[in-house]
Amino acid sequence: MTWVNAVIEGILLGGLYALFACGLSLMFGVMRIINLAHGDLALLGTFMIMVVSQHLGLSPFAALVIVLPGAAAVGYALQMGILQRGMRGGELAPLLATFGLSVVIGNLLLEIFSADTHSLSAGALTTASWQISSQLSIPALGVLIFAVAVLVLGGLQLFLSRTSLGRAMRATADDPGTAELVGINSRRVYATASAIAIASAALAGMFFGMRSSFDPTLGPAQLIFAFEAVVIGGLGSLWGTLVGGIILGVAQTVGAQIDPAWSILSGHILFLAVLAFRSGGIFTAREVRV
């Protein structure tokens, strides 16, 4: 039964990884930018939610109402202020700029909040679970995170395929020059994509902080997990990202069941195995391409 528990826990963890990954995937799909600061921006969201909920005495969910628009604004400004300028010089400059940003955010958090671990309380949700049998239980928080991940991915899919802004985003991703010709403002489209991406990162950051304790050094790890989920699932497929996240999550929890020291390592090894044997990922983009 412990193995079944490990698999269930892994599937639910995969939802969190998919939530981390969808913003990364969106920015790569639309702007061809790999945002190396994605994990640190998510962690910045975690800390902001902690600060807001502590100072205003709100629950993290209520703090999210304040932090989420802030995160979107940060994403918008990031694209307009830094990435747009860097994109003129090709792929290299935005990549290096986001690495610099990752170093800046990570170390600022370390300077402000020290290396202590913190946690976000989800109230009764933290410990609530459905007891299936004496050994098998399903944590409510995990199910909530998974459901939110599915909603966000599905919403993003609908947004890209059905709305005019989503269509503009796909057109700009395909060919910004031609998109400009038909009246699309590519700068604004890019900035909107970036705003959505960073807001989703902050949302993932909140759930991350509820699920486990955190400290300022954990940003890069979230970036790596998100990236692994994207590659395992296959680039350009949002549902593939969910499957990739689940596979990564299960690899980690089952690996931890074998030996706790092998938890994260087994996820990495699975990722490398996918690269070796199925470098296009498990899904190839058939649905809406982002």
Partner 1 sequence: MSGGVRVVRWTRLSAAFAVGTGGLLIALAFVPYAFGPGTTEKLTELFVLIILAAMWNALAGYGGLVSVGQQAFIGIGAYAVIVLTDHGLNGYLAVALAALFAGLVSLPTSLLVFRLRGGQFAIGMWVVAEVFRLLVTNDSGLGGGTGRSLSALNVYAPADRQAYTYWVALAAMALLIIAGFVLLRSRLGASLQAIRDDERAAQSLGVPVMRAKRILFAFAAVGCGAAGAITMVNTLSVTPDSIFGVQWTAYMIFMVLLGGLGTFEGPVLGALVLFGIQQEFSDSASWYLVGLGAVAIAVTLVLPRGLWGALVDRFGIRLVPVGYTLRGLLAHTAGQPEPERPVPHMTTT
| Closest CB to partner 1 among residues 35, 157 | 35
Identity of residue 167? R
Binding to partner 1 by residue 285, rule CB under 8 A? no
Ramachandran angles phi, psi of 129, nearest 5°: -160, 160
Binding to partner 1 by residue 231, rule CB under 8 A? yes
Binding to partner 1 by residue 85, rule CB under 8 A? yes
Token couple for 101: 């940003």
Binding to partner 1 by residue 284, rule CB under 8 A? no
Q: How far apart, in Å, are the Cα atoms of 188 and each of 27, 28, 79, 84, 117?
A: 13, 16, 9, 10, 38
Given candidates 18, 33, 67, 160, which one binds partner 1 under the rule CB under 8 A?
A: 33
Taking the complex as a whole, the smallest distance from the CB of residue 98 to partner 1 amounts, in Å, to 8
Helix (H) or strand (E) holding 131: strand 129-131
Pattern of binders to partner 1 over 170-209, x per CB under 8 A?
A: ----------------------------------------
Place of tokens 């269930």: 8
What are the CB-based long-range contacts (under 8 Å, 24+) for 49-58? 49/120, 49/202, 49/205, 49/206, 49/209, 50/118, 50/120, 50/209, 53/120
Place of tokens 């402000």: 112
Taking the complex as a whole, the smallest distance from the CB of residue 78 to partner 1 amounts, in Å, to 11
Binding to partner 1 by residue 77, rule CB under 8 A? no
Taking the complex as a whole, the smallest distance from the CB of residue 14 to partner 1 amounts, in Å, to 17
| Closest CB to partner 1 among residues 82, 122 | 82
Number of residues interacting with partner 1: please give it, by CB under 8 A: 44
Interatomic CA distance for residues 137 and 115, integer angstroms = 33
| Closest CB to partner 1 among residues 108, 140 | 108
Burial class of residue 122 in the structure, from the number of CB atoms within 10 Å of its CB (0-12 exposed, 13-18 middle, 19+ buried): buried
Residues that bind partner 1 (CB under 8 A): 28, 32-34, 36, 82, 85-86, 89, 91-93, 95-97, 99-104, 106-108, 110-111, 220, 223-224, 227-228, 231, 235, 261-262, 264-265, 268-269, 271-272, 275-276, 279
